[in-house]
A and B are shown apart, each in its own frame.
Chain A
Amino acid sequence: MITLEQKNFEEIEKMTKGYNRLLVLGCETCAAMSFAGGQRQVAELASAIRVARKTSGEQGEVLEEAIARQCEPEFVDLIKDDVAGCDAVLSLACGAGVQLLAERFPDKVILPGCNTLFLGVTEELGVWSERCAGCGNCILDKTAGLCPIARCAKQLLNGPCGGSMNGKCEISKDVDCVWQLIIDRLDRLNRLEMLEEIFPVKDWSPAGHGGPRKMIREDLKL
């Protein structure tokens, strides 16, 4: 899933100031699972904005709505009337959702209520961590199922570097050195010889370095 977190309240308050009718719009997939933009967090944030406005004497109405995914035009279009009736939309989706809203509602102010963080896994309730960088060229078959692009601070393909100490990365003692993990796992799998294959220089174009990416499936498109 894509993990995201709500921006801090001060920032939200500042960016929403002056929009009399504000629609807080939730996104009930990744954002909900990140406890940043499901119905519960929409209600909490909308209520918080109302209380803050009341305290500061600011007028206006704060509305609440949520759709299944803000990254799908059909869902977005279902709320066009709600959007039309407000001065600004505070989207609690990832950056993709915010931008699709902006695209579908060209005349409306769309504001991001969340910061999009990473593609990751749930370690346990309330704890998520990054696992994938979306580089467009998966090499997990060669690295024992552990990704050095997403999990090595230097994105080294032939690690570890000299900064690896006692299994930890030099950037923080709380961060595992993924190359240490790769070696340990290959050892456990009895596949250490795989390390003898040297990765060539990585082609970063599928990772977006060749410009914004787009995927088209001729067999599927309408």
Chain B
Amino acid sequence: MNTPINPKSNRMPVGSVQCDNTTLNLLKANDFVAKAIRERLPDMLVINVCSSPGSGKTSLMQETGRRLRDKINMAVLVGDPETDRDAIRMKEVGINALQIVTGGMCHIEAQMILQALDHIDLTGVDLLFIENVGNLVCPAAFDLGEDIRVTLLAATEGDDKPKKYPRMFLTSELMVISKSDLLPYVPFSVEAVTKDAREVNPTIEVISISSLKGDGMDEWCEWLVTKVNEKKTSQVAI
């Protein structure tokens, strides 16, 4: 056994001990910034899109932008540990996109969003997607000032994920089952995954889509248009 370099001297309090019971939130810095983002974007729907790497977030953004071009003014902030490839992919199909390079970090924090807002033109934008870093663990803990969190789960990933990554599915309003065109070829049960997801989050909605073949894309786009309108109406009401 190595001796610790700085062994504790066991400075037991002599005499009296003062004890302060408190609740000092350790994510308060992030939550404070998230609140500032909400206040800055009062009439824009902000959706935080989470998933594992490679489950089809960018393809879904591309296809959504193509389908909703005439209905909704959409922009995307896309986070990756390195490279601006995803932003380039989206700009290629005419989507207003900005890359956030997290410098190796496995999630986006609210501060990165706040800084990014100064570098993208959001004039007239109704719907801002934040495409999070591919990871089902850490992004779940960081509020980015979004209105809605959506989690993608690809048919190829297996239907056991909601129970393995409960916090992500617990905090999502919608689970999108992506690559649904592959469902006939993989052991993935939409029924089983829906049951598991609803044991973690009884109110989670489920939509199956294929960005490649177009299945379910109408339902997804309608869902988005409804949510964008709900956000606008709620602002008029205030």
Asked whether A and B interact, the reply is no
Residues of B with Cβ closer than 8 Å to A? Answer: none
